[in-house]
Amino acid sequence: MNTMTTVNTHRPLPWARQVWREYGYLCLQFLLCSFAFTYAILVVALGAGLAVTVVGLLGVGALVLGARGWGALYRGLDASLLGSTTAPPPDFVRPPGFWRWLGAMLSDIPGWRALLYMLVTFPLALVAWIVSTAWLAVGAGGLTYWIWWRALPFQTMDDGTRHQGFSITGQHWYWFADTGPRLVVMVLAGIAFVFMWAPLTRGFARLFAVLGRMLLGPTAGAIRVAELRRQRAAAVVDADAKLRRIERDLHDGTQARLVSIAMQVGEAREALAAGGDAAQAEALLEGAHACAKEGLTELREIVRGIHPPALDAGLGIALKTLAARSRLPVTVEVAPGVDAAPIEGAIGSIAYYAAAELLTNIRKHAGATRATLAVSCPADEAGRERLRLRVTDDGHGGARVVPSGPPGVGGTGLAGLVARVAAVDGSVDISSPDGGPTVVDVLLPLTV
């Protein structure tokens, strides 16, 4: 969940459409600010006056959640009129239980941040609209002064002279814009005010955009919580998919073979008991023996899918075994200390399956002639060791992550790999320009 802002960097001109959109935005802020301020004050007042009652707390909690709607309204105005797009905060998740639900409503951070925005922007909206409108009115008045100045009343001065038009007077002096050159001065002043009005309006609009990004978008903690929820959902779906695949393999493969073995052994026993042909019974037993061996092979593959036995000897040896079984020539580079590093079993399994998935993709899609598999344990910026798996191939490139599952779930292939790695707070970096080579870096923590 990121925040993106599009801001015009060129010098604003008074006839530019965007400047008038920004002025319209200030007008809307001015119209809304009194209602928004009243809403925010109502929440504070009700919270102070009715906090001793459960009904009062419910009302305050509902108003706090309602402030999210105000935040959505202001984000929409920012996006449509200012071009400033702010990501919305995560949706409110109702926890089980009445008191937990009430506490979650009262402590809803996006709601309180929206209320703070409504309080802070109230004086800003008043000042911005008044100043911008006054500046525009003065500029427009100066530009058109030569048209309407004769409609102003005459004024009689102390020296008996009568003048008409805009005036600036002091204690012993006066100045009237009632001559040709002075009319030109008024027009030039109007032009200056209009050209100053455009950047002034843009400055106010940008200030509102900054406040919107600061107070109406998601916090870093909210983004992290939402990401953890997405990763948890992906991990649950991935685990369920694995269990279903194992169940399907056992049902359709191993179970069918065991049934076939039982039938063949039963037929052989009946043939021997009836004094039948011994050669036929032997053929049945040989078929059963062959089915038993194939069933054992399938069971090994299923067990390897749950936990590769080679990992018991260390990640480095497991990756070398994986590379040896690959149909593609694979060079394995294991940095010193990898097998001695305190890598949790779950992390080792994810690294193993990431390598297996990447090597399978290379063989199927990359058109490569060779690959390199390197594993190391470098330290990050905080000095913590991480497990890095780098897979490189000389194929034609163009590898992309294409989600194949529902929103929030990676699916299979590279998308599924990214989802599984993210579930343990890891990352996947893919560099695969058209024409190759492809380099995939998988970075994992040593512990979950």
Regarding pTM above 0.75, the answer is no
pLDDT at 308 over 70: no
Residue range 230-245, pLDDT digits in tens: 666 565 556 556 666 6
**Which residues in 77-110 are b (16+ Cβ under 10 Å) and which e?**
bbbebbbbbbeebbeeeeeeeeeeebebbbebeb
Phi, psi angles (nearest 5°) of residue 391:
-120, 125
More confident residue, 204 or 55: 204
CB 12 within 8 A of CB 19: yes
Ranges assigned E (strand) in 129-181: 154-156, 162-164, 167-169, 174-176
What is the secondary structure of 358-417 as a DSSP string?
HHHHIIIII--S-EEEEEE--B-TTS-BEEEEEEEE-S---------SSTT---SHHHHH
In this predicted structure, what is the pLDDT of residue 263? 73
In this predicted structure, what is the pLDDT of residue 275? 67
- Torsion, Cα of 213, 218, 219, 222 (10° steps): 180
Residue range 15-37, pLDDT digits in tens: 778 888 888 888 998 999 889 89
The candidate with the shortest Cα–Cα distance to 94, out of 83, 105, 84, 85, is: 105
Residue range 98-144, pLDDT digits in tens: 788 788 888 888 888 889 988 988 999 999 888 888 888 878 777 77
Residue range 370-422, pLDDT digits in tens: 888 888 887 766 667 788 888 888 888 777 776 654 444 444 467 777 877 87
The candidate with the shortest Cα–Cα distance to 409, out of 230, 283, 263, 280, is: 230
